[in-house]
Amino acid sequence: MKRFSAFNVVSLTLGFAFLYLPMIILVIYSFNDSKLVTVWAGFSTRWYGELLQNEAFLDAAWVTIRVAVASSTIATVLGTMAAYVLVRAGRFHGRTLFSGMIYAPLVMPEVITGLSLLLLFIGIGLDRGIVTIILAHTTFSMCYVSVVVSSRLVSFDRSLEEAALDLGCTPFAAFRLVTLPIIAPAVISGWLLAFTLSLDDLVIASFTAGPSATTLPIKIFSAVRLGVSPEINALSTIMIGIVTVGVITASLVSKRASVKQQAEEQAAVRAT
């Protein structure tokens, strides 16, 4: 049997074209010399240069990166703790309810999450700005982290922790010295996931951002409403680059870890 029949080739091409053509066009036009977005006037990197002069964009980019780093870090700590408790605590009353509640924000429409956070911030009198965006992003990315980490913890051999306790560790030391190093790949890919989610987010950020701090997606969105400029194309290309690197790293980290883990588990099976 031929692996690539004509039909396969066509469907593959169409599928990928559908997915990537818009982005490719955007990347190409970001190197367009012309001010008019739709007219090609030769290759140039002038829009990247101009972007670096644009204070407003640079500010927004800086805010976005700080928000992404802070919120994904907090979300990773909280999400890992939540996952650990839910997987480890065994059966307690309302456990199913709790684990269900952790996952609920995943399916909640973003507008609702954004709106409810906005109401909360107004309610407690917190001025909207970078802090509120960080809080909001932490809230919704935390559940992604806990999903990733708890799926790793489920297959984690409990007796490793017991062995650590047996050898004199306090429960916290056992977590730090044994559990954490072993589940680290899942924690890292959780962090990267949270980071890219925060970088991408427009809806929740628009609800929780204030005049003092705007994120890049908001900036781009409002700029585009006044007409697409080649500068935005350049900016978007950079963002595509960052997100791509993030996603590829995350999948490589978890792939490598799972290959290694499989090897270790196979070795363990052979032993018994």
Binding residues for other proteins, per CB under 8 A? 157, 159-160, 162-171, 173, 177-178, 181-182, 263-264, 267-268, 270-272
The residue whose two tokens read 């030769």 is 42
Instruction: Closer to other proteins by CB, 169 or 228: give it.
Output: 169
Q: Distance between CA 153 and CA 182 in Å, rounded?
A: 10
Of 114, 113, 117, give the one whose Cα is nearest residue 126. 117
Closest separation between CB of residue 244 and other proteins, Å? 30
Closest separation between CB of residue 72 and other proteins, Å? 24
* CB distance 106 to 147 below 8 Å: yes
Closest separation between CB of residue 26 and other proteins, Å? 43
Q: Distance between CA 145 and CA 53 in Å, rounded?
A: 36
Instruction: Closer to other proteins by CB, 11 or 170: give it.
Output: 170
Instruction: Closer to other proteins by CB, 176 or 255: give it.
Output: 176
Q: Distance between CA 203 and CA 191 in Å, rounded?
A: 21
Closest separation between CB of residue 90 and other proteins, Å? 12
* CB distance 207 to 114 below 8 Å: yes
Burial classification of residue 69, based on how many CB atoms lie within 10 Å of its CB (0-12 exposed, 13-18 middle, 19 or more buried)? middle
Instruction: Closer to other proteins by CB, 53 or 159: give it.
Output: 159
Q: Distance between CA 85 and CA 99 in Å, rounded?
A: 10
Closest separation between CB of residue 157 and other proteins, Å? 7
Instruction: Closer to other proteins by CB, 167 or 248: give it.
Output: 167
